[in-house]
Amino acid sequence: MKIKQICRLALVLLLTLALALVCACSGNGAEQDPIPGGTEQQTPSGDEKDPSGGEKDPSGSEKDPSGGEKDPSGSEKDPSGGEKDPSGSEKDPSGGEKDPSGEEKDPEPEPVYPEWKGEWVSAIFGGGPFVTGGEKVLSDVKASGFNTIIIWSVHVHNDGTLYLNDDKVCDNGKLVIGQDSLDFWAGLKGEDSSIERIELSVGAGNCTDFEQIKADIQKDGTGKETVLYKNMKLLIEATGADAVNYDDESCYDLDSAVKFGKMCAGMGVKITLCPYVNSDFWGKLAKELGEDVDRVYLQCYSGGQLNDNQYTIWWKIWALSTGLRIIPGYWCGSGIGKCSAATVKSKLSRETDYTTGGFIWYYDDLMKLKSPNSTKDYAAAINDANPHKGEVSSSVSAFWEGEHCVLPEKKRS
C-alpha cells in the first residue's frame, strides 16, 4: 500500500515539473515578435527605420539593411567609404579599382606609339665579304640603297686579341689587318654611296665572346690601359664604325654588358642591340644604357622566327622607357625560314607604328642571288615599306635622285 502511494506521488511531481517547464517556455516566446510579420522593434539607440527597411541615423543619412550608407545621389558606399558601381566592382575614393581580393588595380595606361624621329633604317649584315670582299663588293653595296652596313662579327679571344670572323685584326693594341680591308672600309661612305652608317657587330650564336668580355672586365676593368679598350678603339677607328652592335646569344650578363657598352660609348660610338630571345635582359640593358642605345634590331629568322609579326610585344619591353622603335630583320633567299625581297616588303609593311626600318641577314648569301632578289631589290623592299618616305629627305634619297643611278622602280618598269 505504501509503495502504490509513493509511485502516485512521484508521477504527480513529474507532471507538475513538466507543466512548469512548458509555461516558462511560453513566457519567453511572448517577449519577442516572430520575424515574419512581427511588429517593429526599437533599437536601444532609438534609431528609426523607414517603411522601405532602410535605417536612418540621427543625421538623416540613410543606411541599407547591411549597414552600408547611401548618399543622396543613391550611390552605395561600404562602411570603409569605398564606393561600389552598378557592376559591383569596388572603387576606392581615389578612383582605383579593387579586385575581389581587396588589392587595388591601377587603370591601364593608354598605349602610346614610339615617336617617329625621321629615320628609316635599311641595314645589311655581312661577314667575310665586308672584310676582304674587295672592289666588286664595295661597288655593289655602295650602289645598293642600303643606308647601314653591319660588319659581322668581332670575336674576343682569351689572350685579348680581336678577330673578324677567322681573320686576326687587333693584337695588344696593334692592327694586324691588311691594307685592302682598310681601303674597303674607308670607301664605304661618300657622295657616290648610299651608305651613311657603319656598325661593328660583336658576338654570334655558338660563340663565347661576351663570356670572354665578362671575364676581361672582371679581371682588368674597362680603363684606357686595358687590352680590351685598346683593341676595340683601334678597330672602331680602322672601320670608321659609328656604332657597336650586340649579338649576345648566350652570356646575358647585365653588369659586364653595361660596362662594355659604356666603354665603347666613351669612344664616341652608339650601341645597338640585336636580340632574338631573353627579352627581360635586353629590356634592362636598354634601360641601363639609356641614350647610348639608339637602335634595336630584332631577329625574325632562324632562332628568332617566332618574333615575326610580334613587333608590338618586343616594343613594349623597352619603348615605354627608351622610346625606341623596332628594326625587324629577315634572312634573304628561298627555302624554309628565308624570304624573297617581295616577302620582306610585305612583312615590313605591317604595324609600321612600331618600326623604323628593316635589315637583311646576310650579304654572304645575298651576293649569290640575282634579280628580283639582288642587293638593290632587297634594299628597295625595305625602303619602299617606309610609310614616311615622302616626309623626310636623306642622303639615300639624294643618292637615288642623282644622275649616276637609276631608281629601282624605274629599272624594273
Measured from the Cβ of residue 267, the count of other Cβ atoms closer than 10 Å reads: 14
Backbone angles phi, psi at 104, to 5 degrees: -80, 135
> pLDDT tens, 111-141?
577 888 889 999 999 999 999 999 999 999 9
Kindly state the cell numbers that stand for 220. 682588368
Kindly state the cell numbers that stand for 130. 665586308
> pLDDT tens, 8-23?
666 766 766 666 665 5
> pLDDT tens, 368-405?
999 999 999 999 999 999 999 877 555 555 554 553 44
Find the CATH number of the domain harbouring 348: 3.20.20.80
What letter would DSSP give residue 38?
P
* Residue 351 lies inside a defined structural domain of this protein: yes
* Residue 104 lies inside a defined structural domain of this protein: no
pLDDT reading at 183 higher than 60: yes
pLDDT, position 162: 98
> pLDDT tens, 141-176?
999 999 999 999 999 999 889 999 999 999 989 999
Q: Name the pLDDT band for 101 (thresholds 50, 70, 90).
A: low
* Residue 358 lies inside a defined structural domain of this protein: yes
Q: Are 54 and 48 in contact (CB under 8 A)?
A: no
> pLDDT tens, 273-312?
999 999 889 999 999 999 999 999 999 999 999 999 888 8
pLDDT reading at 65 higher than 50: no
* Residue 64 lies inside a defined structural domain of this protein: no
- Determine the residue type at 208: T
The beta-carbon contacts of 156-165 under 8 Å, at least 24 apart in sequence, are 156/202, 156/209, 156/212, 156/213, 156/216, 156/228, 157/212, 158/212, 158/215, 160/216, 160/227, 160/228, 160/231, 161/231, 162/231, 162/232, 162/235, 164/131, 165/127, 165/128, 165/131
From the number of C-beta atoms within 10 Å of its C-beta (0-12, 13-18, 19+), residue 165 rates as: middle
* Residue 208 lies inside a defined structural domain of this protein: yes
Q: Are 141 and 195 in contact (CB under 8 A)?
A: yes
pLDDT, position 351: 85
- Determine the residue type at 352: T
* Residue 325 lies inside a defined structural domain of this protein: yes
For the chain, what is the mean pLDDT? Answer: 79
Kindly state the cell numbers that stand for 187. 670607301
Torsion, CA 17, CA 21, CA 26, CA 29, rounded to 10 = 170
Rounded Cα–Cα distance for residues 213 and 314 (Å): 26
SS3 315: helix
* Residue 32 lies inside a defined structural domain of this protein: no
**Claim: this prediction has a pTM higher than 0.85:** no
Rounded Cα–Cα distance for residues 147 and 198 (Å): 9
Domain count, the chain: 1
List the domain range (segments joined by +) for residue 129: 121-412
Kindly state the cell numbers that stand for 320. 615605354
pLDDT, position 235: 98
Residues 6 or more apart whose CB falls under 8 angstroms from that of 123 comprise 146, 147, 148, 149, 150, 199, 297, 327, 329, 357, 358, 359, 360
* Residue 334 lies inside a defined structural domain of this protein: yes
Rounded Cα–Cα distance for residues 202 and 204 (Å): 7
CA distances from 252 to 249, 281, 307, 363 (A): 7, 7, 19, 27
